[in-house]
Structure 1
Amino acid sequence: MNKDHQAVRVNDSFTRGLEKKWLPRMANATPEWITPDHMTLIGIFAAFVVAAGFLLTVYSPWWLLLSNIGLVLHWYGDSLDGTLARVRKCERERYGYFVDHVCDIGTVVLIAIAMGASPLMQMEIALFVAVGYSMMNVYVHIVAYTRQKFLLSHGKIGPTEFRIILILINFVIILWNPVLFTWNDEMFRVLDTAGIAIAVLLFSAFIYKSITGAIHLNDLDTGKKE
């Protein structure tokens, strides 16, 4: 990012305290031959593991356990690539920012398509969630540029919490996945219903934060606020 637009990382997620305590320790315990780029590759590999788990549910819902393993592995790689670089003082700011967020959006699209292609979720709903997540992602980068704040969480929910929620939903689906309701002759099961709820929250958050953010920036630019 441009030096004039350095953004301060803001994280108020539920898991912030635990991650702040344990991620540096995990980075210090990582063998020297493992680099931040290796961690990024682990995260990319894990995204394909998650996607494979969803696609394989055509044979059995127990394949969701593979997706859950992939989600844990993705947290490990995605959380530790930047932490490892900071601990070892080998940060490449622009490169890291670019690669991290390209991989993030690629991961979301890949997993959404896999979920939609599985028998567990309708493709339209999966893509609805992906679009909502992408809109919030764009909002984060706009705020980073205009207000120098890089928002890692919203309402106590960050990427780690999203993974935990998906892991819990997967466990529920393995044991219990009835049709919860029907609409226009379409059957909506657990993942469909959860996807609709998450997508609505993402779109609502984007609209609310965009409006309030615009009002705040207008006040700043017109001198109404310091």
Structure 2
Amino acid sequence: MADKERAVLAAILRRLPETVSPDQLTFLGLIGAAGAAAGFVASRWSNWFLILAAFGVLANWLGDALSKELSSRLDIERSRYGYFIDHSTDLIAQTLVIVGLGLSPYFTIGSALLVLSLYLLVNSYAYLCVVTQGGRRAEYSDAGTTFIRLLVVGWTLIAAWAGPGIAREQFYSFAVLDIFVVSASLCVFVGFLFAVRSDLAHIRLQEIGEAESRGDMSGAGGRASPKKPARGEKSGVTRRESDPWRD
């Protein structure tokens, strides 16, 4: 769906006034998340508030995605500042949406907190990859956020059709919804473990290759040892500051 999403965003950007800034769009996304949370909580009194929740999720997606696209087009990604504000607001927004869903009559708070913990787990891993791999796996974060939005909107439509009883179905003493969410979460967690294993092996091989290219391999167990300069000779190693947030 990435290509279609970019096409939609490009069409919207062409129609945006030039006075609109990325920060304003980021704020729109945060307001949308708050509106979605309020809609879910208010659906305890009327099913019609699910419309507010759905539009809130849509506003959150538009504000978040458009702010990144606009920054890229204007060449003002602002490196660390842009990275910080984009992802911190993502964390706040998705926490609001997921907890709001858990406080609605169409979900359970236990399942909502489990989904939130998995979302935070994947995002934490994405941020770790930004530091260790220069942002090569930063797409984990955006993919996870988009997936959460799709799940929330899809569940909102199902809930509007099925009614609050969808969260009350019981299997023995457990809610059927909780059983399904726990099972799906276990599958996601196992996949996450395989991803960690794969990335760990990749990083290890990359470090060994870099050490071999510098001629720093000691030959003892594949461990790299620092190369000492001769007496009176200055070390040729210079420290270079990297900016992993650039990606």
Q: Max radius of gyration: which structure?
A: 2
Q: Which residue does 1:64 correspond to in 2?
A: 50
Higher RCO (CA 8 Å, separation ≥ 6 residues): 1
What CA deviation, in whole Å up to 9, does each residue of 1:172-206 have, x standing for no partner? 111114344435x24334xx456435533432232
With normalisation by structure 2, the TM-score equals: 0.74
Q: Could you tell me which amino acid in structure 1 is paired with residue 83 of structure 2? A: Y
Unpaired runs of at least 5, structure 1: 1-14
Deviation at 1:133, TM superposition (A): 0.6
Once the two structures are superposed, the pairs formed by residues 3-152 of structure 1 within 5 Å of their partners are 15-148=1-134, 149-152=136-139
Deviation at 1:113, TM superposition (A): 2.0
Corresponding residue pairs, total? 208
What SS does the aligned partner of 1:58 have? coil
Distance 1:88 1:25, change over 3 A: farther
Deviation at 1:19, TM superposition (A): 2.1
Deviation at 1:79, TM superposition (A): 0.3
4+ long deviations beyond 4 Å: none
For the Cα contact (< 8 Å) 1:24–1:87, is it kept in 2? no
Distance 1:89 1:212, change over 3 A: closer
Mean alpha-carbon deviation: is it higher for 63-72 or for 194-203? 194-203
What CA deviation, in whole Å up to 9, does each residue of 1:147-176 have, x standing for no partner? 22043259x955334322321211111111
Distance 1:174 1:122, change over 3 A: same
Q: Structure 1 residue 187 and structure 2 residue 192: aligned?
A: no
With normalisation by structure 1, the TM-score equals: 0.81
Unpaired runs of at least 5, structure 2: 214-247
Question: Aligned partners of 2:122 and 2:19: how far apart in 1?
Answer: 35
